[in-house]
A and B are shown apart, each in its own frame.
Chain A
Amino acid sequence: MNGARYIVDILCENGVDVVFGYPGATVLSIYDELHKNKKRIRHIRTAHEQGAAHAADAYARASGKTGVVIATSGPGATNLVTGIANAYMDSVPMVVITGNVDQHLIGTDSFQEVDIVGITMSVTKYNCVVHSIDELGHSLRNAFIIAQSGRKGPVLVDVPRDVLESCLSLKSIKKMEAEFDYYHPPESREDCCEHELDRAVQMLTESRNPVILVGGGVKAHRTSHVTDDIKQLAKILDCAICSSLMAVDSIEYDYPYYAGFCGISGNEAANRALDEADLIIAIGTRFSNRMIKSRSEQEVLHSGYTKVLHIDRDRAEINKVIASDCFLVGDAEQILPALIARYREKMEAEDITSGVAVPAITYNMYKRDEILTALSEKVGTDAYIVTDVGNHQMWIARNYPFMQSGRFITSGGLGTMGFGLGAAIGTVTHAKDKPVVLIIGDGGFTMSCHELATIKAYNLPVLVIMVNNGKLGMVYDLQAQKCRGRFSQTVVKRKPLYCNLARSFGMKAYKATCLETFNKAVQQYMDTKKATFIDLCMDIYGRNE
């Protein structure tokens, strides 16, 4: 057996049934083995490595499993970098396998040689070069463990061609398996102690106007325990729940305590709730500078009026951006029940009743959006909603009626235009018969429309809705504010025929200029479950808050 075959075996052993990637000379042997092992692992070849990386990333977000992407050395590897950084910023578990040149050529600036480990060091949770076939098993197995442990993230394993092609005896495989030493995540070294729990409860009892702020971390588990506990906590404290962009879908849009997501483009109600709170109970969030909306809010947070109770899996997130008054490090799945139980005990001991079924004031100010209501009614609560980056993304985050956690797939931390199409491909690979809807801007679509070829090649049933506003809307708006209307390079001159483009890739394409034509097109998609493109020429502004 050679190294390439061993990689395929280890992928299977880790429950991988689909990988994304693009072939090349250094990974020839991997592709040969993938060909021979078609029945065990499905491979999706995208049009560009970046698309493959986003696909693996979104596949992981949708499934909870580890996304796997393969690329060749040099340009193949560098094309992955944006995708890796995107997964890193949003803590998505991913294993990246790159080929590299033969070891004797490394360091000589040989053809298609780059130091991908050096390049990706600061955007991976871990990365390494496999120097000998005897290290391969250890490195790749641990890559899966590291990607999924504690706070998740991408891991890159770079394998020189000669390692992939060298032979392994059964004896050395046995030896590798026997000697495998598991990676132990350092997070487990620190866990929350009793004393801190008491202080947290004390803060809850002292607060007169708390707010719960949930981040992407609460979606790390596939179960609903964490969100159930969060909803319960809101009831007990009678307080609003706000989310970060990453966690918009973690609570049902119509839950009476849910005020939506905070930040520069967030919901009014959520921003107000955060502004007015005297205690922020932050769960699995890293206080992105986009989320802490205004300067005044930062000042409030630092003035000491607003206290912060920070619950996170990653100890390094504590006090990184916002100083907390108390923190609990660990998994919210364990911490929240303990916190709630302790709070209840205390309340009962002091003979105070806690918990209200109906909130004292209206926290939920959700405003219906005509287009998105129509869309959600047609595609149902099961549908995955994927976005690209720009105004359309914020429109979805603010106004889409999400009913299930994990159904919103978006690029949060890196804000990567060009994420959407690759991500939709990864999502649909997992979603099987559930609808997958991509909402993308005309800018982002143009940046990545080559991936329509992948949709065609694999007959992937996605609904692509392109918001055709003729501009790079989000930046255009910034220029309107900050550049006195000097719109530099943000207006689309001489638009292409988007529908024709989509049709040439075998998609059904419709131009929607009113709700009626839009509805018809969506219905077509639901009826046929075939790749469909909608050129949405309706004004989405003025519709949202």
Chain B
Amino acid sequence: MIKTISILVENKAGMLVRVTNLFSRRGYNIESLAVGITEKSEISRITVIVDTDERILDQIVHQLMKLVGVIKVKVLDDDAIITRELVLIKVKADSTCRNEIIQIAEIFRARIIDLCPDSLTIELTGQYDKTNALLSMIEKFGIIEVARTGKVSLSRGTDSINT
């Protein structure tokens, strides 16, 4: 099962290594990982997506809790979660196909953020399926490179990791 874990950690050098080291050492697989500071500059949020079972998920949570510097760990509720990922896609585009690509991007509510005679760069924010769908639509034009941020998630409503 796919699960999203939100981890609040002290914003200190080496915290990300400690967290990822724990995952690799105990053999837990990471599907996606994103990190950034929170509303408080001294605290970072790491969002980890794992594909695992109930027992391992419980292990991950409690092993994480033991790390010095981890402040809070929460498995987000699948039914009340918003997840987004930002993707940048650089695709080959000359005058013959540029318009077609732009049209496709519009349908996906993606934006063109850079343009030159031979290529353009698309910015897309969304969920996993949407990104994959867009990628498969423009694959034929020739994708030069892709950068994805990894997914970030929050729970819906006023609920937060602190409640």
Contact = CB atoms under 8 A, between A and B. Distances in A.
Contacts of A189: 65
Interface in B1-29: 14, 17-18, 21-22, 25
B65 A121 contact: no
B62 A315 contact: yes
B55 interface: yes
A122 B66 contact: no
B62 A316 contact: yes
B95 to A, nearest CB: 48
A319 B66 contact: no
Q: Which size bracket describes the interface of B in this complex?
A: 10 to 19
B94 interface: no
B107 to A, nearest CB: 47
B50 interface: no
Contact of A319 (B14, B18, B55, B68): B55
Interface in B34-54: none
Nearest to B18: A121
Given A121-B18, A122-B21, A186-B70, A316 B55 contact: no
A319 B58 contact: yes
Question: Most chain-B Cβ atoms within 10 A of its Cβ — which of A128, A186, A187?
Answer: A186
Interface residues of A, number: 20
A189 B72 CA distance: 10
Majority-rule SS of B interface residues: helix
Nearest to B59: A320
A277 to B, nearest CB: 23
A323 B58 CA distance: 12
Given A117-B14, A121-B18, A323-B55, A315 B68 contact: no
B65 A316 contact: yes
A186 B65 contact: yes
Contacts of B55: 319, 323
Given A146-B68, A323-B55, A316 B63 contact: yes
Given A319-B55, A323-B55, A125 B68 contact: yes
Contacts of A187: 66
A343 to B, nearest CB: 27
Interface in B67-84: 68, 70
B71 to A, nearest CB: 9
A126 interface: yes
A122 B21 CA distance: 7
Given A316-B59, A319-B59, A186 B21 contact: no
A121 B23 CA distance: 12
Question: Most chain-A Cβ atoms within 10 A of its Cβ — which of B58, B63, B66?
Answer: B66
Nearest to A189: B65
B48 to A, nearest CB: 17
A183 B68 CA distance: 8
B68 A126 contact: yes
B39 to A, nearest CB: 21
Interface in A283-317: 314-316
A276 to B, nearest CB: 26
Contact of B65 (A126, A128, A315, A323): A315
Nearest to A124: B68
Nearest to B55: A319
Interface in A119-147: 121-122, 125-126, 128, 146
Contact of B21 (A121, A183, A314): A121
A318 interface: yes
A251 B21 CA distance: 38
Nearest to A122: B25
Contacts of A126: 68
Nearest to A323: B55
Contacts of B65: 186, 189, 315-316
A132 to B, nearest CB: 12
Nearest to B71: A186
Interface string A146-187: 100001000000000000000000000000000000010011
Nearest to B73: A186
Given A122-B22, A128-B14, 5 more contacts: A118-B17, A125-B66, A314-B66, A316-B65, A319-B59
20 contacts: A117-B14, A118-B17, A121-B18, A122-B22, A125-B66, A125-B68, A151-B66, A183-B68, A186-B70, A189-B65, A314-B66, A315-B65, A316-B59, A316-B62, A316-B63, A316-B65, A316-B66, A319-B55, A319-B58, A323-B55
Interface of A: 117-118, 121-122, 125-126, 128, 146, 151, 183, 186-187, 189, 314-316, 318-320, 323
- Kindly list the 5 A-B residue pairs having the minimum CB-CB distance in the complex, ordered from nearest: A316-B62, A126-B68, A315-B62, A122-B25, A186-B65
